[in-house]
Amino acid sequence: MDALKTKKAISKVFDDPAQQLFKPRGRILFLKYFVLVFFIVIGVRFWYLQVVRHDHYVKQAENNRIRDIPIPAPRGSILDREGRILVDSRPTYSLLLYQEDMTNKEETVRVLTEKLGVDKDFLLRQMNTPGSRSRPIPVKTNVKESDRAWVEAHELEHPELKVELQPQRRYPHGEILAHVLGYVGEISEDQLREPEYDYCRPGDVIGQAGIEKSYNKILMGKEGSKRVVVDSRGRVIEQLEEIPAIAGQDIVTTIDIDIQLVGEQALSDTGLNGTVVITDPQDGGILAMVSHPSYDPNLFAAGIKPSDYAKLVNDPKKPLRNRAIQDRHPPGSTWKILMATAAMEERLLKEKQAVVCGGGISIGSRFAQCLGSHGGPDVQRAIEVSCNGFFYRVGLMLGIDKMEKWQKNFGVGIKTGIDLPNEIKGIVPSREWKKKEYPSDPKWRDGDTINAAIGQAGVRPTPLQMVYAISGIGMHGKFYTPHVFKEARKSENYPQILYEPKVKDLHLADETWKNVTQGLWRVVNGSGTARRAQIPGFDVCGKTGTAQVVSVKSGASGEQKEHAWFVGYAPKDAPEVGGVALVENGGHGGTAAAPVIKSCFEEYLRKKKGLPKETEQLAQTLSQETATNRVLATGQASTQTESRASKPEPKPSPNNPATGLRPNRSEGQRSTKPDRPAARQAREVGQ
């Protein structure tokens, strides 16, 4: 009975469909379905690989055999106005990393850092740049012979490393002209997203500052390539074709390297930081632009280390900043030229019109001093002796609204449009400016006006704006946009590109021009503060300025050491050269800044006359050629002195016997201090 029940139970199990696999027939059926599904999966996979991904794998397989190697295009050279090299490119041995041939990243990094001296942070940054896996990346330039030998000896173990000749930027003058020329570097991810770089690819080396950046497209050229057959280790077996690179165009600048070198030396001789700009007033060309301290752009050409770059960025003296277009300072008494011109153009001031000095002016309960007693000078005399009392009253005649209008007309407080990157606007005061800067005391007051009239109360132009403005006044109201580009030379692949001057003409009245320029001539050639800028026979016109700042010396016990300004042009009747010098913490403009511009103007004149570089011979030649002019100039000055004999003159002082004025106090009002709120300034002058 039990045996029968067991048999029925076994039969029931095998009759269950779920148990059919245990039967031989079920196992065969399962195997058939399994094989069918397997081949279906394999077939779909083959279809995906051979049809859907066909192009991808063909390209990948081809790349294992055929490789396109980029050929960098040499950048065009940058030349001075006489064709002398300022920047060029030279072939140097560079260590390249082909990441597609790299089998062990950690080992490659170890070898490059420990054996070949590559900075690890720099290396990892290069390896992670966009497009770095599809093209060789330079990890070390100026490779030594020992490094080349090591790479060749380990070619089998490290086929990803190659040493090849590549063009590298060379700046033969080092720190000189660095802020004008700029430097190069690999394009960043952010730059690749900008429309202005739509012609660039990952890994391209582009201009990052100065002319290199402004004219990158002209200088860059077009990359070439060569198609080669390589083996499994990346070694070239055969070259199939080559598309040569097209070098960029050479650019001729307006820079004169001789004048630049003189400016560099003259500013260095002061032992202080600052800037010098020399221009051609007749078309706006920049003949020289000095900015101290500077930096060596060759550091960037060779691939600057992060630590070196951090030092430049964090240096408190800011060597990367172009002080000519990126610094703004109170202009001191140089600002008075703009005020005199504006007042005469508005017909508020006429030729020979006497305006009382009064030793200063009363505003409310306070008295703003003029550090001299000038009687009732006319505009020429007021410019010559830098009479604050005169310009306080001229400022009140104009009022802040007319001041603002003429500041913009003269191109101050707005960008000049120079073809260098990162120019700033500068600051000029206005009603809106005060409301924004000093919301606790937003009302514009007379005390603000008289301060603004002498270059205080928030007036902060750039040095380039000052030479642009005063050279334009000397040109009878023709203001030429400053520029450093002169031409791009014609080549086999590119046409010539010439600079077209841009000019704004204010058509200054003859009376305005005559009186202002004569006043500026008297500052240098009469009894003014810029006699150290005088060049006999060249009729230098200009104005000094002394602007208060906190002393450069720490712990100076409240002493203030001023910035020294001089801005001018020559000759008087038909300006050929203009210039501005700002010597930071240099003291008096006539002592520190005027001699710098004189040196640059003398170099310009030497070259114009074709004389050798010896200063003594230049001075002797000028003296011989201009003896008659000097006699006439002396006679004119004597006549002017006689005409003023009836007017009371200040008594001579030990500091300056000629004028009775203290040199460090003759440039402008000293009752206000820069960077104080306007309301506080107003209280100081009796607001």
Q: φ, ψ for residue 328 (rounded to 5)?
A: -135, 140
Strand partners, 505: 478
What sign for the dihedral angle of Cα 264, 258, 300, 424? positive
Which one from 291, 294, 333, 671 is the annotated catalytic residue? Answer: 333
Contact 525, 511 (CB under 8 A): no
Element (H, E) at 346: none
- 370 neighbors 428 (Cβ within 8 angstroms): no
DSSP code of 676? S
Could you please report the per-residue DSSP string of 204-233? -EEE-SHHHHHTHHHHH-B-EEEEEEE-TT
**CA-angle at 653, arms to 646 and 631, nearest 5°:** 60
Environment class of 402 (CB within 10 Å of its CB; exposed 0-12, middle 13-18, buried 19+) = middle
What CA–CA distance (Å, rounded) separates 212 from 639?
54
- Number of H helices and E strands in the chain, helices first, is 26, 21
Torsion sign across C-alpha atoms 262, 265, 269, 273: positive
CA-to-CA dists, residue 316 to 270, 297, 311, 368, angstroms: 20, 19, 10, 36
Q: Are 11 and 19 in contact (CB under 8 A)?
A: no
| Residue whose entry in the numeric block shows the structure tokens 């500013």 | 267
DSSP code string of 617-646: HHHHHHHHHTHHHHHHHHHHHHHHHHHTTT
CA 94 to chain CA mean position, Å: 29
Half-sphere CA count of 297, side-chain side, radius 13 A: 27
Let me know if 584 is exposed, middle or buried by CB neighbors in 10 A (0-12, 13-18, 19+): buried
Instruction: Quickly tell me which residue has 């002592």 as its tokens.
Output: 591
Cis omega before residue 536 (within 30°)?
Answer: no
Determine whether 89 is an active site residue.
Answer: no
What is the CB neighbour count within 10 angstroms for residue 548? 21
The two structure tokens encoding residue 26: 């079920």
| 409, containing H or E segment | helix 388-409
Cβ count within 10 A of residue 505: 12
Token output for 21: 């696999």
Identify the residue whose tokens are 């020979």. 352
Residues 635/646, Cβ–Cβ less than 8 Å: no
Question: Which residues are CB-contacts of 294 (< 8 A; sequence separation ≥ 6)?
Answer: 175, 176, 178, 179, 319
Distance (Å, rounded) from C-alpha 417 to C-alpha 414?
9
Whole-number Å distance between alpha carbons of 205 and 60: 27
Q: Is 543 helix (H, G, I), strand (E, B) or coil?
A: strand
For residues 634 and 630, what is the distance between their CA atoms, to the nearest angstrom? 6
Catalytic positions, please?
333
